[in-house]
Amino acid sequence: MTQFEDQASQELYEKNLITESQFQEIKEYRSLNIFSLNVELKLLLSISVLMFTSGIGILIYDNIDSIGHIALLSILFAVTCGCFYYCFKNSKGFQKDETTSESPFLEYLVLTANVLTCIFIGYLQVQYKAFGTHYGLATLVPTIVSFVCAYYFDNKSVLTIAVTGLAAYVGFSVTPQDIFNGNNDFYANESLSYSAIILGILLILWTVYSFKIKLKTHFALIYLTFALHIISVVSISNMLREEITWLLFSLILAGSSFYFYKVSHELKAISLYVFMILYAYIGINILLYKILQHADNIPDIWVLFFMLLPMYFIGSIVLFIMLIKKFNKEIVK
């Protein structure tokens, strides 16, 4: 890693992107061998939030009969309000640009308050049917709260919860094994597929609009990541159908791959680029399988397929590595 960093600094100096004095300062700083604990501390804080909120859930489950619903809800509400009070008191308030908090603790307290809000509303709905039979509201309300908190406190973790809640409100939920399971929700309810595709497109449109009005543009990667996964997973799932609609979703996947190919270069986001390649690769393989299914009348087609299969996979791996290297070179320029 040190050799790579030294080489990168040398390239910057040779391209006159930094001065000689800056280059020397960088070398002197790295010679100090200072080790940052920032990532480790943030990881511990994230684990602390997870353990605390999980502990609240376990406490409610184990003592629901002895403590009582009203008491548990009151305690949960008081802790949530206390977290929000501290957050609002110590935050810089809403700003359109990216903001950084002086206290790293504040970011995780906002996350804690938001998760506790979701638990409180969920508990309220399950026990007292606060929203009646409108179960979607029990998802929509904490989702709205999450979006407000994400933009007000400039919190990416809370924004992730908000977009997840929005997808759940639409009805989109899937596990990796469900993608290739013929009994998943996309097979049972085709309209859900179109709803999920529309949600992905809306996330893209909101990202474009955010850049236009310069509103929290650093949130773009989160929105686009969700949009990429939603559109690609839905398209791949529906490409496995026997109905003619698989052609439509093949075109959707192709259009999505082309768009995210462009936007990954614009944002220099290698995560979008890698997942775009993987989803496109899966889609191409499904198309090849569909073609081979209709080519059963060709003699020895499957024999030829299995003979070429090792070369195909080796070529795919080599091509993948070449594409990643090419992308890294392009974003460095």
Distance CA(22)–CA(151), nearest Å, equals 36
Residues 111 and 131 placed together within one structural domain of the fold: yes
Q: What's the pLDDT score for residue 263?
A: 95
Lowest mean pLDDT among 32-36, 232-236, 327-331: 32-36
Residue 279 lies in a domain: yes
As a whole number, the mean pLDDT across the chain is 81
The residues near 200 (Cβ < 8 Å, ≥ 6 apart) are 226, 227, 228, 230, 231, 234, 256
Residue 47 lies in a domain: yes
Residues 261 and 327 placed together within one structural domain of the fold: yes
> How far apart, in Å, are the Cα atoms of 309 and each of 285, 295, 304, 312?
11, 17, 9, 5
Domain count along the chain? 2
Residues 135 and 256 placed together within one structural domain of the fold: no
Amino acid at 48: S
Mean pLDDT value of segment 116-124: 85
Distance CA(223)–CA(264), nearest Å, equals 13
Residues 151 and 265 placed together within one structural domain of the fold: no
Distance CA(170)–CA(196), nearest Å, equals 7
For residue 242, the 8-state DSSP code is S
Last residue of a domain, one of 131, 154, 170: 170
- Is a pLDDT exceeding 60 seen at residue 174? no
Residues 99 and 190 placed together within one structural domain of the fold: no
Residue 331 lies in a domain: yes
Q: Model pTM greater than 0.75?
A: yes
* pLDDT tens column, 253-301: 999 999 999 999 999 899 999 999 999 999 999 988 887 777 666 666 6
> How far apart, in Å, are the Cα atoms of 131 and each of 78, 121, 138, 142, 244?
21, 10, 7, 13, 40
Residues 218 and 113 placed together within one structural domain of the fold: no
Residue 31 lies in a domain: no
Q: What's the pLDDT score for residue 66?
A: 65
- The conformational region for residue 268 under phi > 0 = left, psi -120 to 50 = alpha, else beta, is left
Residue 146 lies in a domain: yes
Q: What's the pLDDT score for residue 1?
A: 47
* pLDDT tens column, 83-101: 899 888 888 888 888 887 7
- Is a pLDDT exceeding 90 seen at residue 184? no
Distance CA(182)–CA(227), nearest Å, equals 23
Residues 107 and 187 placed together within one structural domain of the fold: no
Last residue of a domain, one of 170, 200, 221: 170
Q: What's the pLDDT score for residue 180?
A: 47
SS3 letters across 287-320: HHHHHHHCCCCCCCHHHHHHHHHHHHHHHHHHHH
Tokens of 239: 């490409």
Residues 69 and 218 placed together within one structural domain of the fold: no
Q: What's the pLDDT score for residue 195?
A: 87
Q: What's the pLDDT score for residue 34?
A: 63
* pLDDT tens column, 155-165: 998 999 999 99
* pLDDT tens column, 48-86: 767 777 777 777 667 666 667 777 788 888 989 998 998
CB 218 within 8 A of CB 225: no
Where are the alpha helices (H) located in the chain, listed in sequence order?
A: 2-14, 20-31, 38-62, 64-67, 69-90, 104-128, 135-153, 156-170, 176-179, 185-188, 190-213, 220-239, 245-267, 270-293, 301-332
* pLDDT tens column, 191-201: 788 888 999 99
Helix axes 220-239, 156-170, angle to 10 degrees: 30
Residue 216 lies in a domain: yes
Residues 145 and 254 placed together within one structural domain of the fold: no
Mean pLDDT value of segment 118-131: 82
Residues 73 and 216 placed together within one structural domain of the fold: no
Residue 34 lies in a domain: no
Residue by residue, DSSP assigns 57-90 as HHHHHHSHHHH-HHHHHHHHHHHHHHHHHHHHHH
Residues 106 and 157 placed together within one structural domain of the fold: yes
What are the φ/ψ torsions at residue 276 (nearest 5 degrees)?
-60, -45
Quote the domain boundaries for residue 143: 39-170
Last residue of a domain, one of 137, 170, 203: 170
Residues 241 and 329 placed together within one structural domain of the fold: yes
Residue 10 lies in a domain: no
- Is a pLDDT exceeding 70 seen at residue 138? yes
CB 118 within 8 A of CB 53: no
- Sign of the torsion angle spanned by Cα atoms 19, 25, 26, 31: positive
